[in-house]
A and B are shown apart, each in its own frame.
Chain A
C-alpha cells in the first residue's frame, strides 16, 4: 500500500506549548508544562529524564494516547485535538508504530498474528510474505512465527514488537523504554535492529538509559515537565553525566 508521504519540510511530530495536567484543584499534577518540540522526518530521538519528569506523558500526548490539557500536537500533519477517537485510532494503525517495555504482545495470538495486528485492525489483506519479510528484518525465523509470545525470550518478544511496529511502514515509531527489561547486550542488539529496520522512519524513544543514545541523532532532556536541554549527536558518557545532574537537582529540589 502506498503511504502518503509527509512533506519533507513538515516534521511528522510537532508539539507546540503542550501542557498536560492530571487531576483538578489542589491535587492537580502538571506532568508537562508548555513543551514545544518537533521531531523531523527520519530522525531518531531519545527523550530522557529522571522519574516523574514527564517523559512517558510526552510520548503519550505526542502519540495521541492521551489528550493534552492545552497546546497543540500535530502527528503526521494532523492536529490531534481536531480528530475524533476513531480518527485517532485509524491514524495510529496506519501511520504510527508502537514498542512498549512489556505487555507488548497479545499472549493468545501467535507471533505472526501479533505482527499482523495493525493490518488486520485496518482490514487490509495480510500476506504471509509480508509478515515473513517484516520478521526477517528483525531477525526472526519462520519457525518462530508460529509460536506464542510466552515461548520467546524477552529480546525476541521486543523484536516481534518492532516487526509489528514496522509492518505498516509507519511515519513514526514511538518506543517507551523498549529495552528496560533487557540485559545490556540484548538491549544493544534490539536497538541496533530498530535503528537499521526503521531506516527513514521517525523514531521517538523514551528511556532512562544513557546507552540508548548511542543509536540516536538527538537527545531531549526533560525536567519537571519542561524541556531542559536538547543535545544533538549525544555521547553516552555525557548523557550519563547530564542525567546524573538532573537527578541531583531533583534531590536538591525535594530536600
Chain B
C-alpha cells in the first residue's frame, strides 16, 4: 500500500482527529493502569538490612482443594507473622556457613506469644554467599516446608508483611480497571471510526469508481486508523504516565499499595501505549473499514449519497439478543448465592445493557422522535426541522444519543451503587450498635473491660476488635469481621440474628453473616463446621453458632476474642468497648484513670464510623474518575463529529434565508433531543445494574440516589453536549456568509 493512499491523514484530517483523540485517551488510561499494576516497590529491609538470610514462619496460607491430579493449591499472603520458636535461632546458628543467628521480634503485626519470635536473622560467615547459606538452611529445615526463607530484596517483604497484601490489592484493582478500559475504549473508538469513515463515503466511492478494489480501500482505512492510533498513543504517553504516577501515590496514601510505591515509567511504556492504541484502533475499525470498502462506486456520482435509514436487521437481532441477555443475566445475577458472585456479574450486566442500548439505538431514537412529534409543535420551525432530521436519519441521530446514554449509565451506576452501599452501611451501623456508650482509644485491655463491667448500673459490656480471617468461599480470600468478648450481646449489638444464638460466639464457635454464609458461598447454616485461618495462618475450626443479616457495618465474621488473641499481630486488647447502662459520670471517672481512653455516645460513634466508610470509597472514586473521563471523551468526540457532518445543512439553511439565530435553534433543539433521549436510555440501562447491585448488597430494591449528585450528573452531561454541539456550530456558522445575523 502506497503512502499516497494515506494522504487523507496529511491534509484535512478532520474526522480522523477524533480517532486520534479517542486513541490518546485510551492510551492515557491504559498506560496509567499498567504503570499502576506494575508499581512494585520492595519494602525496605530496615532492621534486616544487615542479615544475610531471614527465616520466618510461612508468610502465606495455603489451601488445597480436591486431591490427586485435580488438587488445586491456593495461597494468600498473611497479614500477621506466624511466629517461630525462639530456639530456632540457636538451631540455625549451627548450620554450616552461618556466623550467627538472632531471633527478632517487635515488627508491626508481630507475634505476641511467649517463647516465640517473629523471625530469625542469620548472618553468613565471610566468603559464604547469602544464596548458598539460604539453601543450606532450607536443607536443615527439611526442605523449608512451613517457612519463608528470604535473601536480598525479598527480605523487605518479610520486614513489612503489609507490603505483600497491599501490593496484591493494588494489582487486583489495576487489573480490574484494565478490562473495562480496553472494552470501553474499543466501543468509543469503534463509534468514532464508524463516523470518520461514514463522513468520507464519497471519497471511498470515488476511489472505487476509478478502480480501487474493496481490499485496497479496506487496507487504506485500516492503515489510517493504525497510524491515528499510534499517534494517539504518542500523545497519550506522557499524560498517561503522569496519571499513573498520581494514581500510584494516591493508592499508596490509601494503603492500597505499599508506602513508597512508584509507578512503572519505563520508556517501554511509550511503545506499549502506541502499540496498544494502534491495535485497539485497528480492531475497532474492522467493521467501519468493511462498510467503507463496500461503498457502492455509483455513490460517487450522486449529489447526496443515500444513506440507509434503518439499521441492518442483524444489528436489530443482536440488539434484541443483548436485551434478552441482559434480562437473563440479571435473573442469573440475582440467583447467585454470594454477594461477591453477584457483584462480579454487575459489570458484565452493565455492559450487556449498554450493548443493547447501542444496538437498538436507532429504533429507540425513531420511536422517541415519533413520540416527541406533538410536543415539537410548540418549538416552532427550528424544533420541527431538528426533529425532522432525527426522524429521517435515526441511525445518524443514534450515533450521538448512544455516547450520552453510555456516560449516564456508566457513571451513574458506579456512583449511585457506591452511594447506596454507603448509605446502607451508615444506616445499618446506626441500628447495629445498641450500646449506650462506646469506649475507644488507648488502654482497652481485658483489665479495663473488667473495671467497666464492675461499674454500678452497667448492664453489659464487651470488647470488640476488627479482625480478618482467610476463608474459602469458594476462593481463598480474606473476610473481615470482629472479634468480640464472650457474653450476651443483646444490649450492645443488634446484628439481626436470623438463626442460632444471639450471644457472642464461645471458643469453638463462629457467627457468620447471611451475605457471606447463610444463603451464601460458604454454603453453611447454624451448626455447620467450617475452618477459617486467623491472620497469622492458624487454622480455627469452629461450629457456626449464629447467622446474622446486619453485616455492612460489622463485617461478615464474628469470632471469640479469646480465640483471636495472639493471632492477629496486634497488641492484646480491644479497639472498642461497648457499654450499656452505667452513668456518664462513672465512665468519665474511669476514663480519667486511663490516659488516652475516650468515651463517646452511641450517636457520635455511629457518625464517626459512617465517615470512615466514606473514606473507604477511594478505589471506587478512582474507577469512577476513569469511567467519567472515557465517557466524556466519547460524548464530546461523537457530538463534535456529528455536528460537523451537518455543515451542508447549515449552508442550505443560510441559502434559504435562515438567520444565524434560527440555525442555532435548529442545532440547539437537536442537542436537546440527543441529551434528553440519551439521559432516558442511559438511566434505564444503568437502573438495571444499579437495582441488581443494591439488591445484592443491601437486600433492598431501593437504591439511594442523593439529589445533588444526580442533578450534577445530568447538568454536566447536558453542558458537555451543549458545548460539543454549539462550539462547532459557532465555528461553522462564522464561515457561512449566507447566514444572516439577527
Question: What residues make up the interface of A, taking CB atoms closer than 8 Å to B?
Answer: 56, 59-60, 63, 65-66, 85-86, 89-94, 96, 98, 100-101, 103-104, 106-109, 113, 116-118, 120-122, 148, 164, 176
Q: Could you say which of A104, A122, A176 contacts B211, with CB atoms under 8 Å apart?
A: A122
With the chains together, A104 CA to B202 CA distance in Å? 10
Q: Could you say which of B4, B8, B213 contacts A86, with CB atoms under 8 Å apart?
A: B213
The smallest beta-carbon distance between A175 and chain B, in angstroms, is: 11
In B211-236, which residues have CB < 8 Å from any A CB?
Answer: 211-216
B211 near A121 (CB under 8 angstroms)?
A: yes
The smallest beta-carbon distance between B245 and chain A, in angstroms, is: 39
A65 near B11 (CB under 8 angstroms)?
A: no
A100 near B300 (CB under 8 angstroms)?
A: yes
Q: Could you say which of A60, A85, A117 contacts B210, with CB atoms under 8 Å apart?
A: A117
**Assuming the A-B contacts A66-B296, A103-B202, A108-B11, are A121 and B212 also in contact, with contact meaning beta carbons closer than 8 angstroms in the complex?**
yes
Q: Is B705 an interface residue (CB 8 A)?
A: no
With the chains together, A101 CA to B202 CA distance in Å? 13
Q: Could you say which of B2, B203, B213, B300 contacts A120, with CB atoms under 8 Å apart?
A: B2
B203 near A106 (CB under 8 angstroms)?
A: yes
Q: Is B713 an interface residue (CB 8 A)?
A: no
B213 near A89 (CB under 8 angstroms)?
A: yes
In the bound complex, residues from chain A placing their C-beta under 8 Å from that of B203 are 106
A106 near B206 (CB under 8 angstroms)?
A: yes
9 contacts between A and B (CB under 8 A): A100-B209, A100-B301, A103-B206, A103-B300, A106-B7, A106-B206, A120-B2, A120-B5, A121-B216
Q: Could you say which of A59, A96, A108 contacts B12, with CB atoms under 8 Å apart?
A: A108
Q: Could you say which of B4, B210, B300 contacts A118, with CB atoms under 8 Å apart?
A: B210
With the chains together, A66 CA to B299 CA distance in Å? 10
Contacts A85-B214, A93-B211, A108-B8 aside, 20 further interface pairs with beta carbons under 8 A come to A60-B301, A65-B209, A65-B296, A65-B301, A66-B296, A66-B298, A85-B213, A86-B213, A86-B214, A89-B208, A93-B210, A100-B209, A107-B12, A108-B7, A108-B12, A113-B7, A117-B207, A120-B4, A122-B211, A164-B210
With the chains together, A104 CA to B209 CA distance in Å? 10
In B384-441, which residues have CB < 8 Å from any A CB?
Answer: none
In the bound complex, residues from chain B placing their C-beta under 8 Å from that of A101 are 301
With the chains together, A108 CA to B297 CA distance in Å? 19
Q: Which of A60, A96, A104, A108 has the most CB of B within 10 A?
A: A108
With the chains together, A117 CA to B217 CA distance in Å? 13
Q: Could you say which of B5, B12, B298 contacts A65, with CB atoms under 8 Å apart?
A: B298
In the bound complex, residues from chain A placing their C-beta under 8 Å from that of B215 are 86
Q: Is B734 an interface residue (CB 8 A)?
A: no
With the chains together, A86 CA to B212 CA distance in Å? 8
With the chains together, A60 CA to B208 CA distance in Å? 13
In the bound complex, residues from chain B placing their C-beta under 8 Å from that of A90 are 211, 213
In the bound complex, residues from chain A placing their C-beta under 8 Å from that of B212 are 89, 93, 121
In the bound complex, residues from chain A placing their C-beta under 8 Å from that of B8 are 106, 108
> What residue of chain A has the Cβ atom nearest to residue B294's Cβ?
A85
> What residue of chain B has the Cβ atom nearest to residue A164's Cβ?
B210
In the bound complex, residues from chain A placing their C-beta under 8 Å from that of B73 are none
The smallest beta-carbon distance between B208 and chain A, in angstroms, is: 7
A121 near B210 (CB under 8 angstroms)?
A: yes
The smallest beta-carbon distance between B307 and chain A, in angstroms, is: 15
> What residue of chain B has the Cβ atom nearest to residue A106's Cβ?
B203
With the chains together, A120 CA to B207 CA distance in Å? 11
With the chains together, A10 CA to B203 CA distance in Å? 34
With the chains together, A78 CA to B445 CA distance in Å? 99
B4 near A113 (CB under 8 angstroms)?
A: yes
> What residue of chain A has the Cβ atom nearest to residue B7's Cβ?
A108
In the bound complex, residues from chain B placing their C-beta under 8 Å from that of A108 are 7-8, 10-12
In the bound complex, residues from chain A placing their C-beta under 8 Å from that of B2 are 120
Please classify the interface of chain A as helix (H, G, I), strand (E, B), loop, or mixed, using the class held by over half of its residues.
helix
Question: What residues make up the interface of B, taking CB atoms closer than 8 Å to A?
Answer: 2, 4-5, 7-8, 10-12, 202-203, 206-216, 296-298, 300-301
A92 near B209 (CB under 8 angstroms)?
A: yes
In the bound complex, residues from chain A placing their C-beta under 8 Å from that of B206 are 100, 103-104, 106
The 9 closest A-B pairs by CB, nearest first: A93-B211, A92-B211, A108-B11, A65-B298, A89-B213, A108-B7, A65-B297, A60-B298, A86-B213
The smallest beta-carbon distance between A148 and chain B, in angstroms, is: 7
With the chains together, A121 CA to B4 CA distance in Å? 10
In the bound complex, residues from chain B placing their C-beta under 8 Å from that of A86 are 213-215
Q: Could you say which of B11, B214, B296, B301 contacts A89, with CB atoms under 8 Å apart?
A: B214
In the bound complex, residues from chain A placing their C-beta under 8 Å from that of B10 are 108
Q: Which of A65, A122, A148 has the most CB of B within 10 A?
A: A65
In the bound complex, residues from chain A placing their C-beta under 8 Å from that of B301 are 56, 59-60, 65, 100-101, 176
The smallest beta-carbon distance between A80 and chain B, in angstroms, is: 13
The smallest beta-carbon distance between B17 and chain A, in angstroms, is: 14
With the chains together, A129 CA to B297 CA distance in Å? 30
A118 near B7 (CB under 8 angstroms)?
A: no
A89 near B211 (CB under 8 angstroms)?
A: yes
With the chains together, A107 CA to B213 CA distance in Å? 20
> What residue of chain A has the Cβ atom nearest to residue B202's Cβ?
A103
The smallest beta-carbon distance between A206 and chain B, in angstroms, is: 9
The smallest beta-carbon distance between A64 and chain B, in angstroms, is: 8
In the bound complex, residues from chain B placing their C-beta under 8 Å from that of A113 are 4, 7
In the bound complex, residues from chain B placing their C-beta under 8 Å from that of A107 are 11-12
B11 near A148 (CB under 8 angstroms)?
A: yes
With the chains together, A113 CA to B215 CA distance in Å? 20
In the bound complex, residues from chain B placing their C-beta under 8 Å from that of A148 are 11
In the bound complex, residues from chain B placing their C-beta under 8 Å from that of A122 are 211
With the chains together, A107 CA to B216 CA distance in Å? 19
In the bound complex, residues from chain A placing their C-beta under 8 Å from that of B202 are 103
With the chains together, A85 CA to B295 CA distance in Å? 12
In the bound complex, residues from chain B placing their C-beta under 8 Å from that of A118 are 210-211
The smallest beta-carbon distance between B417 and chain A, in angstroms, is: 47
In the bound complex, residues from chain B placing their C-beta under 8 Å from that of A176 are 301
In the bound complex, residues from chain B placing their C-beta under 8 Å from that of A60 are 298, 301
> What residue of chain A has the Cβ atom nearest to residue B209's Cβ?
A98
The smallest beta-carbon distance between B293 and chain A, in angstroms, is: 10
The smallest beta-carbon distance between A21 and chain B, in angstroms, is: 15
The smallest beta-carbon distance between A182 and chain B, in angstroms, is: 16
In the bound complex, residues from chain B placing their C-beta under 8 Å from that of A89 are 208, 211-214, 216
Q: Which of A56, A106, A117, A122 has the most CB of B within 10 A?
A: A106
The smallest beta-carbon distance between A49 and chain B, in angstroms, is: 16
In the bound complex, residues from chain A placing their C-beta under 8 Å from that of B7 are 106, 108-109, 113
> What residue of chain B has the Cβ atom nearest to residue A165's Cβ?
B210
The smallest beta-carbon distance between B538 and chain A, in angstroms, is: 72
The smallest beta-carbon distance between B300 and chain A, in angstroms, is: 6
With the chains together, A104 CA to B210 CA distance in Å? 10
With the chains together, A187 CA to B202 CA distance in Å? 24
In the bound complex, residues from chain A placing their C-beta under 8 Å from that of B214 are 85-86, 89
B298 near A92 (CB under 8 angstroms)?
A: no
The smallest beta-carbon distance between A218 and chain B, in angstroms, is: 22
With the chains together, A89 CA to B203 CA distance in Å? 16
With the chains together, A120 CA to B301 CA distance in Å? 22
With the chains together, A93 CA to B12 CA distance in Å? 26
With the chains together, A85 CA to B8 CA distance in Å? 24
With the chains together, A66 CA to B296 CA distance in Å? 8
B12 near A94 (CB under 8 angstroms)?
A: no
The smallest beta-carbon distance between B565 and chain A, in angstroms, is: 76
The smallest beta-carbon distance between B244 and chain A, in angstroms, is: 36
With the chains together, A144 CA to B209 CA distance in Å? 24
The smallest beta-carbon distance between A221 and chain B, in angstroms, is: 20
With the chains together, A101 CA to B206 CA distance in Å? 12
In the bound complex, residues from chain B placing their C-beta under 8 Å from that of A120 are 2, 4-5
In the bound complex, residues from chain A placing their C-beta under 8 Å from that of B298 are 60, 65-66
The smallest beta-carbon distance between B390 and chain A, in angstroms, is: 23
With the chains together, A103 CA to B210 CA distance in Å? 13
With the chains together, A88 CA to B2 CA distance in Å? 21
With the chains together, A118 CA to B211 CA distance in Å? 7
The smallest beta-carbon distance between B61 and chain A, in angstroms, is: 63
With the chains together, A107 CA to B212 CA distance in Å? 17
In the bound complex, residues from chain A placing their C-beta under 8 Å from that of B209 are 63, 65, 92, 98, 100
In the bound complex, residues from chain B placing their C-beta under 8 Å from that of A106 are 7-8, 203, 206-207
